[in-house]
Amino acid sequence: MIESIFTIIFVITVFIIGVISKKILYANEHVLSIESELKTFDDNFKAMESIDKIPDFKLGYGHIYSND
C-alpha cells in the first residue's frame, strides 16, 4: 500500500516537473527566431515600398526592375 502511494506521488511530481519544463522551454525557444523573421519581413517590405515610389523603373529583360 505504501509503495503505491509513493509511486503515485513520484509520477505526479515527474508529471508536474515535465509540464512546467515544457512551458518554459517552448515559451522562450522560438521568440528569437520569430523576431528575426519579422525583422527580415519588415526590411523586405520596406525595400519593396521604396522601389514602388521610384517612377522611372520599368520591367526589362534582365532584372525585374531594370532602369533601361
Q: Report yes or no on 60 lying in a domain.
A: no
What is the extent of the structural domain holding 12? 2-52
| Domains of the chain: total | 1
Is 63 within the bounds of a domain?
no
Least confident of 19-23, 35-39, 53-57: 53-57
pLDDT higher at 31 or 58: 31
Strand partners, 66: 58
CA separation (Å) from 52 to 5, 41, 58, 61, 68?
Answer: 70, 17, 11, 19, 16
Residue 19 lies in a domain: yes
Q: Per the domain annotation, does 59 fall within a domain?
A: no
Q: Which of 8-17, 31-40, 49-58 has the lowest mean pLDDT?
A: 49-58
Asked if residue 20 has pLDDT above 80, the reply is: yes
Distance from chain centroid for Cα 5: 43
Element (H, E) at 40: helix 31-52
Say which residues have a Cβ less than 8 Å from residue 62's Cβ, sequence separation at least 6.
68
Task: Say if residue 13's pLDDT is above 90.
Answer: yes
Q: What is the mean pLDDT of the chain?
A: 80
pTM above 0.85, yes or no: no
